Each structure stands twice: as C-alpha cells, then as structure tokens.
Amino acid sequence: MEDWNSFLLPYEQAVDELKVKFRGLRPQFAIDNDQTPIEFVTGRVKPVESIQEKLVRRHIAEDRIEQDLQDIAGVRIMTQFVDDIYQVVDILRKRTDMTILEERDYVTNAKPSGYRSYHIVIEYPVQMVTGEKKILAEIQVRTMAMNFWATIEHSLNYKYDGVFTPELSERLERAADAAFKLDQEMSEIRAEIHDAAAQRDKEA
C-alpha cells in the first residue's frame, strides 16, 4: 500500500458519520420516555499494523483489502439488556443509508473463546470530493457485560500474546459464561419488576 493515510480516509469518515448517526438515536427514545436500548456507542479505524498483520495471517492480497477486510471501519453499540441487542438490530435493518451484507449472531451462538456479540457487516456509501465511494464496515452490538468481558479478553490477548495455556483459556471462557448468566439474571429481574409494576397499575 503506497499511501495508507489516503486509503483510510473514507473509513475514518464512515466511522465518524456512523457514530453521530447511532448516538443520535438515543434522544429519540427519551422523547417518548422509553428506555433507550442504546447505552453508548464507540468507533475506531483498524490501525495500519493490525491491518497488515491480518493480511498476512489470512493470506489476503493487498488488492483484495477493500472486499476481504470487513472490519477496517468498526462501530460498537452497547446495550443494557440482551433483548435490546435485537431491538437495535431491527432498527438498523430499517435504515436506508446503508445496506446490510451479512449478519452473524454470536450472542445466541458464542464463539469457542466465550465471545458474544451480534455482528453486522454493512456496505456504506461515503461522499468523497471525487464522488461516492462504497466501503465495508462492521457494526458490533453487545450488552455492557459482553463488552466488559470482550474488552478485557482483547487487552489480555494483546499484551500477553502467546502465553494462553488451555487452562487459562478455559477460565476465560467460564468467565464469559458467568457474564452471560449475569445478563440473563438482569433480564429476569427487569421482567419481574415490569410485571410487578403492571400488577400495581391494574390494582390502582
């Protein structure tokens, strides 16, 4: 790649736009006094070294980057509850400013590592000075508990690359299960409170 700065510009633009777009959904729920399913939104462009490392690891030729690397532009939406993830996904499916190419539900079907998130690959048109350019971007939707686990797992992997014994990997996987059980417990508590409130309102 001759000029990474130039290559990454439309991806940076896409991340900036998508962050503003998804954050802008929050106040729309507040208006109707509804609980927003979106707790917070983050985004990043994959660092050049990580792109290069992935090209090598996956045997991807440089002229195939745009089609084969789907997560150069990445945006993450965090929710409070597991159900909120699917509500967010439904909202994303209705949008006309992007095209969904692929959905992978690692919430219901966790990865072997224990990782959970809902992944959506989109095609997103960025308006450049020279005209429209369509790029791929990955949207990850996850609960705060899934994000807690994934953040720590990623930073351990990054810092201690290569010293994960099978036993440690297993412990991390069990921690992911515990985080998910916590998610389910919080959902149940919400459901019970919701029912109690409905009961109270009926009796009033």
Residues that bind a copy of itself (CB under 8 A): 3, 5-6, 9, 12-13, 16-17, 20-21, 24-25, 27-29, 31, 35, 39-40, 42, 80-81, 91, 94-97, 125, 127-129, 131-132, 143-145, 147-149, 151-152, 155-156, 159-160, 163-165, 168, 171-172, 175, 178-179, 181-182, 185-186, 189-190, 192-194, 196-197, 200
**Contact residues for 183 (Cβ-Cβ < 8 A; gap 6+):** 81, 82, 143, 145, 146
Q: How far is the CB of 64 from a copy of itself (least distance, A)?
A: 23
Helical H runs in the chain?
Answer: 4-23, 26-31, 48-57, 65-68, 82-94, 144-159, 166-203
Beta carbons of 84 and 25 less than 8 angstroms apart: no
Q: Residue 140 and residue 1: Cα distance in Å, rounded?
A: 27
**Residue whose C-alpha is closest to residue 86's, from 39, 136, 141:** 141
Q: Catalytic: which of 2, 66, 132, 138?
A: 138
CB of 145 to a copy of itself, least distance (A): 5
Nearer to a copy of itself, 108 or 199 (CB): 199
Residue 94 and residue 19: Cα distance in Å, rounded?
A: 17
Question: Is 39 one of the annotated active-site residues of the chain?
Answer: no
User: Measured from the CB atom, is 1 or 196 closer to a copy of itself?
Assistant: 196
Indicate the DSSP class of residue 47: P
Smallest distance, a copy of itself to C-beta of residue 44, A:
13
List, by residue number, the catalytic residues. 138
